[in-house]
């Protein structure tokens, strides 16, 4: 199978590309190396492929670039997006342009190229601010609390419309708090690890009771590949670990794994943050065979090995 991965030089994308190449797929990557994501880190991700995937540098919002990338492709995994709940509050128009317009340009390009299989990376943020879980795919999702969440939900709706109107087979994957090697430095686990290693305090937003469904990147990759292999008319899936932990528990886990006490500096809750993310993975388990295998403690150990090896440059 020839697979195009948009945003494939990033954190999740680079792991996905490696897994696709390892199983024998032909892979093309389209990535614009946006400065927001530290292009040097993404270049390091690409270097690890050792020629196993073709790289096209460009923006999928440019139809000619996208048309070139789609030549001979059987399926697309769409990871390219502007991420970050808090950052989206400052630049909502940019998030709409990248995440919504970019997705529609891709859908138009798929129709022109005759490609009918798409895996779309959505987000658990579409569920909004909820205090009870687990979150199920058929729950109402009518109240996103950040521009980022709204753009990912809009992308789902555009994909559903394309499926209905043009027969596109789309799996929309709601990813829950992904972590692991190559994670962006501003994300929680990476940030906490660096602070622990440097003996620096951590800014703790809220009282530590917020809960997140932390999911190791390898489990996410397995879920994305399972969706790629089982195309169907529009379908939404949660990809999470199914076992949320509090912020306090996460910090304690980082302290244990890194052998360092972390000073907490409490701050008010951040706008756009939610009290809970918690994935029901029943649908993904039943229909895709999805079964996360990396518990948080093991995932933190793997992250430690990576950051001590090459993540501190």
pLDDT tens digits along 138-151: 999 888 999 999 99
Question: What is the domain count for the chain?
Answer: 1
What residues make up the domain containing 146? Answer: 2-178+215-241+279-293
How many CA atoms lie within 13 Å of 246's alpha carbon, on the beta-carbon side?
A: 8
- By the 8 A CB rule, do 88 and 99 touch? no
For 102, the token pair is 């970019």
Per-residue pLDDT at 239: 98
Inside any domain, residue 45: yes
Convert the pLDDT of each residue in 223-252 to its tens digit.
999 999 999 999 999 999 999 999 999 999
Inside any domain, residue 209: no
Pairwise pLDDT comparison (198 vs 292), residue with the higher score: 292
Inside any domain, residue 60: yes
Residues composing the chain? 313
Q: What is the mean pLDDT of the chain?
A: 94
- Does residue 272 register a pLDDT over 80? no
- Does residue 19 register a pLDDT over 90? yes
Backbone dihedral angles phi then psi of residue 293, each to the nearest 5 degrees: -120, -5
Inside any domain, residue 53: yes
Inside any domain, residue 250: no
Where does the pLDDT of residue 37 fall: very low under 50, low under 70, confident under 90, or very high at 90 and above?
confident
Give dist(CA 209, CA 231) in Å, integer.
38
Residue 267, Cβ neighbours under 10 Å: how many? 10
> SS3 for 97?
helix
Inside any domain, residue 202: no
Per-residue pLDDT at 35: 85
Per-residue pLDDT at 311: 53
Nearest to 152 by CA among 141, 163, 161: 141
The domain that holds 102 is classified in CATH as: 3.40.50.720
Inside any domain, residue 102: yes
Give dist(CA 73, CA 2) in Å, integer.
5
Per-residue pLDDT at 274: 87
Backbone dihedral angles phi then psi of residue 278, each to the nearest 5 degrees: -160, 110
Per-residue pLDDT at 205: 82
For 5, the token pair is 């991965």
Inside any domain, residue 106: yes
Where does the pLDDT of residue 119 fall: very low under 50, low under 70, confident under 90, or very high at 90 and above?
very high
Per-residue pLDDT at 27: 97
Kindly state the average pLDDT of the residues 284-306. 97
Kindly state the average pLDDT of the residues 192-215. 90
Task: Name, in order, each residue with C-beta under 8 angstroms of 253's C-beta and a sequence gap of 6 or more.
Answer: 245, 296, 297, 300
> Is 148 in the active site?
yes
Give dist(CA 34, CA 6) in Å, integer.
13
Which one of 95, 127, 148, 290 is the catalytic residue? 148
- By the 8 A CB rule, do 279 and 236 touch? no
């Amino acid at each position: 199978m020839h697979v195009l991965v948009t945003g494939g030089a990033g954190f999740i994308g680079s792991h996905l590309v490696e897994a696709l190449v390892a199983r024998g797929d032909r892979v093309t990557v389209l990535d614009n190396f946006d400065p927001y994501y530290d292009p040097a880190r993404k270049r390091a991700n690409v270097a690890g492929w050792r020629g196993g995937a073709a790289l096209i540098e460009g923006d999928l919002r440019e139809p000619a670039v996208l048309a070139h990338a789609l030549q001979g492709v059987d399926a697309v995994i769409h990871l390219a997006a502007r991420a970050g709940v808090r950052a989206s509050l400052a630049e909502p128009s940019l998030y709409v342009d990248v995440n919504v317009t970019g997705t529609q340009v891709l859908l138009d390009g798929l129709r022109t190229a005759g490609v009918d299989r798409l895996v779309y990376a959505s987000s658990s943020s579409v569920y909004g601010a909820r205090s009870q879980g687990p979150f199920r795919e058929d729950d109402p999702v009518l109240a996103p609390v950040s521009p980022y969440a709204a753009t990912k939900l809009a992308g789902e709706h555009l994909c559903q419309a394309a499926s209905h109107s043009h027969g596109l087979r789309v799996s929309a994957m709601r990813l829950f708090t992904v972590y692991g090697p190559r994670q962006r430095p501003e994300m929680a686990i990476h940030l906490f690890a660096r602070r622990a290693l440097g003996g620096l305090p951590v800014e703790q937003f809220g009282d530590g009771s917020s809960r997140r469904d932390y999911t190791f990147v390898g489990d996410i990759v397995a879920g994305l590949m399972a969706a790629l292999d089982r195309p169907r008319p529009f379908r939404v899936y949660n990809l999470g670990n199914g076992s949320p932990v509090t912020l306090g528990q996460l910090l304690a886990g980082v302290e244990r794994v890194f052998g360092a006490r972390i000073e907490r500096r409490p701050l008010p809750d951040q706008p756009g943050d939610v009290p809970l993310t918690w994935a029901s993975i029943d649908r993904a388990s039943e229909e895709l065979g999805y079964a996360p295998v990396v518990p948080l403690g093991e995932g933190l150990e793997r992250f430690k090995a990576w950051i001590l090896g090459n993540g501190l440059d």
